[in-house]
Structure 1
Amino acid sequence: MRFMTRLKKESTLFKQIFFSVFVIGSVLIIGFGSVIYQRTYTNIQQTFLQKHREAVNQVKSNLEHKIQMVEYAFSTYSNTQHFKANLQADYADMQFRDVQTINSQLAYISIMGIEEASYQLINVEKAWRIDQGSLKRLSEEEVSMYQAMGNQDRYIDWQSEENHLKMVMTLPVFSQDTHALGIAEINKQAIAQLVAHQSDSFLNIINTEGTVLFNDGDTIDGQLAKKIMDDHTATGMIKGTDQQSYVYTQSEYNNWFYVMRLAPKEVSAAMGSFRISLIGIAAFLVALLAFLAYRIARIATSPINRISDVLKSKQVGEKVEVNQVISEINQILSHNQVLSGEMDRQKPELASLFLLNLFRGCIAEKDIPTKVQHFGYQVSEHDHFRVMLIQIDDLGNRDPINGDVFLLALQNLVAEIIPDTLRLQPIMFRQDIQGTLLKFPNEIRQSDIFDYCQKIRKAAKDYLKIKISIGVSDNYQSLHLTKEAVKNAEESLRYRLNLGEEVIIFFDDIATRFDKSAVIQYPTDAETIFLDAMRSGDLALINETYAQVVQQIIHDNKNPMTIESAFFQLINNIIRLGQLLGADYTSLEKSRKVYQQVLNQNHLFKIEQSIYDELVLPIVETIQIKTDREIRSLSDKIVVLIHQQYDQDLSLDKVAEQLHYNANYLSNVFKKEMTVTFADYLQNYRLKIAKKWLEETEMTIKEIATRLKYTNSQNFIRFFKKKEQVTPGEYRKKFS
Structure 2
Amino acid sequence: MMRPTRNLHYSKNLTFKHRLMLIVLLLSVIPVFVLGMFSSNNAASIVQQEVDRNHLMVLRQIQYQFDQFMKSMDRASFQIANNSIVEKSVEIGPINNDLGYTFGTIDVIKKARSMQEIHFDVSLVYMEEAQVYSTRYGFVDLTDFPFRDLLKSVGVRFNSMVVVPPETGQRAHELLMLRPVPAFYSDRPDGILVFHIDPSLLTGILEQVELGHNGKILITDEQGAVVFSQNAAEIGSRISATLEPYMFRGKAGVVSAESSREEAGKVSMNGEDYLSASIHSSYNNWSYIAITPYTELTKKAGEVRRFTLGLAGSLVGLAILMAFLGSNRLYSPIQRMQQKLQGEFREQLPYLRDSIFLQLIRGEMSDNKIRGKTERYGLLLKGSRFYVCLVEMDDFAQFKQKYKENDRSLMIYALRKMLEELCENDFSCVTVSPLPNQVAVLIGTKDASERADEAVRRKAMEFRSNSQNHFHLPVTVALSRACRDYTGISEAYQDASELIGYRMLLGSDELIVQDSVRMPLGTTGYSLIELKKKILSAMAKGDESEARSSLSALIEAIPQHMHNVESVLGTFAYLIGEFDQLVREWSDGGGELDTKELYKQLLAMSSLGETERWFADTVFPLVTNALQDANIPKRTKLIQQVLQYIHLHYDTDLGLQHVADTFQITPPQLSRLFREERNESFSDYVLRYRIEKAKEWLAHTEMPIREIAERLRYASVQNFTRIFKQMTNDPPGYYRKKSRLDE
What's the TM-score bracket when you normalise by the shorter of the two chains? Answer: 0.3 to 0.5
What is the TM-score when the length of structure 2 is the normalising length?
0.32
Instruction: Determine which structure has more spread, i.e. the larger CA radius of gyration.
Output: 1
Return the TM-score normalized by structure 1. 0.32
Q: Which has the higher contact order (CA 8 A, sep 6+)?
A: 2
